[in-house]
Structure 1
Amino acid sequence: MTPRLPWPLAYTVSGDDCAAPMPLGYAAPLAEAVRHLAEFGYDGVEVQVRETGARDAEALTRTVEAAGLRVLGIGTGPVAAQDQLTLTDPSPDVRRHALFRLLGAARLAGELGVPVTLGQTRGTFLPGLADMQRGWAERAVEQLAEEASAHGSRLLLEPQSRANTSLWHTPDETRAVIESLGAPAGLVLDTHHLDAEGVDTMRAIADHAAVTGCLQLAAPVTRGPLTVGDPRLPSLLKALHAGGFTGWLTLEHTQDGDSPRAAARSWTALTDAAAVLA
């Protein structure tokens, strides 16, 4: 585990099934990315997948563990970002395909023994269809949570800004959803989306740390790599510690055209801030 940090530290990477590297993750093939991240001192990775399923768990594990890292979570952003598949699309075939992909990711996560996360793939509303689309999303998320639980995983639902989705923008809204599910579920909190929705990050952590499985980090305003000396970081780490957070931290931000430098910069900023916990 990273020195002085009481939680595993991960970086966003793209699975080999992605059409291109995700813009908020390390811009290199998976094997290269994990090798570099291990050299920087990261503990693991959060792998964004497009269509990878349980059958691919062994190969994914082998690639990541060969670098001395571990998979900490499975993300599903490319399902929407690269293939435009969402749970609220007006087309039944598109919705079925989106759910099929997400269920596959949940089974993969179960094989790996890690959570699966859901963000923008829940989609956006069209005029006059909001009530119907909300129902589609709620039923699909219930099914996804049950599938994850049945395979030894757990769904983590991410509050995202209205620029990404029409559903569940704040931690309070999203927690109400997970508490209504018939299977265990939790939250992903992302500092960028909290800022975009005007939600105070420290308050969100204080209120929801116990049900949060992952905190995703980026610099304010730019959504770029973290900066050494950012006064927010020590306060954020203290809030996590005080709230009893037991999940992992993920760097999910733009790469500024240079993933090695971005990853090294964020690692240094966060581990420097962690001195406050000593």
Structure 2
Amino acid sequence: MDDVIIIGGSFAGLAGALQLGRARRKVTVLDTGLPRNRFAGYSHGLLGHDHKPPLDILAEARRQLARYPAIKLVNARAESVSGAIDDFNVLTSEGESFGARRLILSYGITDQMPDVPGFAEGWGTSIVPCPYCDGFEVAGLHWSLVWSGPQSHNQVRLFHDWTDKLTVFADGHDVPPDIRADLARRNIPVVDGRITGIAQRGAHNATVKLDTGRNVAVDILFAHPRNKPSASLHESLGLATVDTPVGIALKVDERRQTSMPGIYAAGDLTTPFLPSVTQASSQGAMAGIFAQQSMVV
């Protein structure tokens, strides 16, 4: 039996495995090899790895983990989880069974692309969710934001640190009059109508097509589509969740433990509205440390 099974081997999962391996705890990482940021050409803001392709960073991390004999990386999808603290069992889609005293869930989330031609094709290049991840590279250019709710007003205020030229697409949402007045005061136009298509013009250029017949050219489009967990294991386990502006997240305490003793969680699965490899790595490391500490007698 392992000490810990980690389900999901991207930034959060591998960071947790590193801490456990260094503590000489036996850990197995189950991973499908489909990280959320695989569509991005570069990862930004991770100290020591800024402006590197995310898949290259993960590949190097796996190479470094190979020096720890207690860590095993398995390319497999976890199909089901059963048991309780000190006696969990994970069954993979290939029928292989693994047992462990603790679990760390870090299988991330899947972005649900809207049914808009060109959106999925531009995701990660001309359409992005996070200014901290991609803002510096397009600073000073013409930004745009697809309105998704009240939280979009806060994003508009944040964007001024990167650019003074911003357009908001209402995309069928009812933007309240007081917010429209504030946007007008900031010289931010609101374009009404629903988005019917997006034509990508290079790595950081797009033309937004509207049902009003109008086309608007921008340099970068920020959007926050709904997302959902990449697996349903938390549902079968009955773990508590919380609602966020873009989907649900697993509820964890200050030690990253979920509502079920012995199960920890980290990464986008717990903070889907704040995608960040730095945050995911930090949360994964802490989940590994707290899981290890919980087994000390």
Q: Above 0.5 in TM-score?
A: no
Please identify which structure carries the higher strand content.
2
- Which structure has the higher relative contact order (CA within 8 Å, separation 6+)? 2
From the CA coordinates, give the structure whose radius of gyration is larger: 2
Q: What TM-score do you get using the length of structure 1 for normalisation?
A: 0.31
Q: What TM-score do you get using the length of structure 2 for normalisation?
A: 0.29
